[in-house]
Amino acid sequence: MDPKEIGGWVILGLAAGLIARRVMPGEEKGGCLMTIILGILGALVGGWIGRHVGFLPVAHPGAGLPSLESLFTATVGALVVLGFWKWIRA
């Protein structure tokens, strides 16, 4: 991933973290800042995995990031990271 693409995933991670927090049941122990951080981390991990398994095509230079596939991948990645965080904190 190049720096512009990482920046796009970070911005997408903000939305993905909020979506994942609403979808995942349970008490919110980490607060808003932790949700954002875990969402960004989940989006980066989900985007990286999505590219390497072939779910997301390789971005062309200048191509816009937010697509339905990238939002789905970022949200799933955020759900996985939030679930792991809850498991560790339990």
pTM: 0.74
Measure the CA–CA gap between 86 and 2, rounded to whole angstroms. 31
What is the domain extent for residue 41? 3-89
Residue that is written with structure tokens 């809850």 in the block: 86
Structure confidence at residue 66 as a pLDDT band (50, 70, 90): low
State pLDDT tens for residues 23-53: 877 776 667 788 788 888 888 888 788 878 8
The Cβ-side half-sphere exposure at 16, using a 13 Å CA radius, reads: 34
Total domains, the chain: 1
